Amino acid sequence: MDTIAPEITRDIYGMPAFVTLTVTDLDRAVDWYVNGLDFISLFTIPRPDGRPALVHLRRWRYQDILLREGAPPTGGEWTISIMATLEQLPAIAERARSHGGGTVEGPADTPWNTRDLRLTDPDGYTVVYTAPRPEGQRDARFSAMMQREVRRQLGGETIPPGGSAA
């Protein structure tokens, strides 16, 4: 299984997936994600009058958010899940709590062997930082169930713990 490097890159690349969020206050949203949630402002596209039209934020490679000003969507929950390391979760939670403007839940263990930090930004978007739980803290029954399901789907092939099916 490939390991994802927990570092920010300023490389410009074709993004295979990203999210665009419409926010009521672009400066406030940039402040929340940069100073509260560990993103960087990669670049800003200005309007003709010089004010920002779009801000490109990034955390790790392929963790890109585009922010644009407007009325946020209504009528449903929007959740963005982002990979993190276990060691990062408490610091991000503390920074987000002290920064204000949004809500913070966790970090807390999930039934699927991750530890998640759930944050809601000032416009109501939910960002979940998720990290695998350490080996000795995982739910053995869930791990065994997943192994059985992988074997079933792959026709009996066994996947080593921490391994990849591909």
Residue 49 covered by a domain: yes
Cα separation, 18 vs 66, in Å, equals 8
| pLDDT, tens only, 121-160 | 888 888 899 899 998 998 888 888 877 777 776 776 555 5
**What's the domain range around 97?**
19-133
CATH code where residue 96 lies: 3.10.180.10
In the predicted structure, residue 165 carries a pLDDT above the cut 50: no
Q: What sign has the CA pseudo-torsion 64, 70, 95, 114?
A: negative
Residue 166 covered by a domain: no
Residue 93 covered by a domain: yes
> Does residue 57 contact residue 65 with C-beta atoms inside 8 Å?
yes
User: How many domains does the chain divide into?
Assistant: 1
Residue 38 covered by a domain: yes
